[in-house]
A and B are shown apart, each in its own frame.
Chain A
Amino acid sequence: DQQVKQNSPSLSVQEGRISILNCDYTNSMFDYFLWYKKYPAEGPTFLISISSIKDKNEDGRFTVFLNKSAKHLSLHIVPSQPGDSAVYFCAALGGNNDMRFGAGTRLTVKP
């Protein structure tokens, strides 16, 4: 059962523009959400997170928005840079230390 979904397998944006990556979840018991970035031949690296008690968290060029009623979160990257090109995974944490990942979105930022 896919409780965390990233419906866009890929996204291409121009350097300097905004990248918006989306993620939907089905389990209302999830209370913590994370975004990871993955380069080829490397493990995922933590990017930014948000607790379910918040609706926004910002860290430099990266902002995560959480809409609990819609069970939707998004990652905004602005301005996008070519070095941001990678696969982005959203993940959700509930009980049992079971972190559920989406299938990932491949972001390409064109110079």
Chain B
Amino acid sequence: DTGVSQDPRHKITKRGQNVTFRCDPISEHNRLYWYRQTLGQGPEFLTYFQNEAQLEKSRLLSDRFSAERPKGSFSTLEIQRTEQGDSAMYLCASRTTIPGAQGTEAFFGQGTRLTVV
């Protein structure tokens, strides 16, 4: 399978616990994005990386959220001291960028569904 892979697919955690999610992008893709989606809403941008550099974080992103992409390949998203409001689907997407080109499509992983109880 050469698509975007996310792990775990489901996570149930107690309020106050820390959780970490992993995303493995399509291997030749240099850009990696994290989104969050709640029921009835479209995906909401959280952050993105170009290779190992984190280029943008959403202003809506709490300090409890941190993301890394240490070697420019896989990425992790950590949520510290989880709250019930963090319950959502966390989506990872990747794409490649071509200098001078208009843009390329982003492909999503299966998502990690987080439930905070």
Q: Do A and B come from one complex?
A: no
